[in-house]
Amino acid sequence: MKPVKTTVWDSAEYLQSDEDITIYLNDIFSTNDTKLIIAAIGDVTRARGMSKVAEDIGCGRESLYKSLSQNGNPSFDTIIKVMSALGYRLIPSHV
C-alpha cells in the first residue's frame, strides 16, 4: 500500500475575496477564542500581503509574522492597527 501524501492546510490560500474574509472573521470572532482569533487575523494578513500590512502599520514584517502566529501575543494596539489596515474595525454587536 502506498503512503498517503498530505499537505499542511493554509487558510490564507482560500481567502480570496472580501466576502470570504468577512465570513471567515465573523465565524472566528464568534468563538471568543483569543488564540484562534489572533491566528485568523494572521491568516487574513497573509492573504492580503504581510509585507504591505506591516508597512502600512509601521512594523517589521518578521515582527508582525511573529505577533500573529499561533503562539503570538500581539498588543491590542497591534490588533487594532492590523484590522484597520485590512479595512475592518471592531464594533459592538448591538450596533
| 33-81 residue pLDDT tens | 999 999 999 999 999 999 999 999 999 999 999 999 878 899 999 999 9
Global pTM? Answer: 0.85
Report how far residue 30's alpha carbon sits from residue 51's, in angstroms, rounded to the nearest whole number.
28
Report how far residue 6's alpha carbon sits from residue 22's, in angstroms, rounded to the nearest whole number.
28
- pLDDT for the residue 95: 58
Inform me whether the pLDDT recorded for 17 exceeds 80. Answer: yes
Cell representation of residue 78: 497591534
Inform me whether the pLDDT recorded for 10 exceeds 70. Answer: yes
Domain boundaries, the chain: 16-85
Report how far residue 48's alpha carbon sits from residue 27's, in angstroms, rounded to the nearest whole number.
19
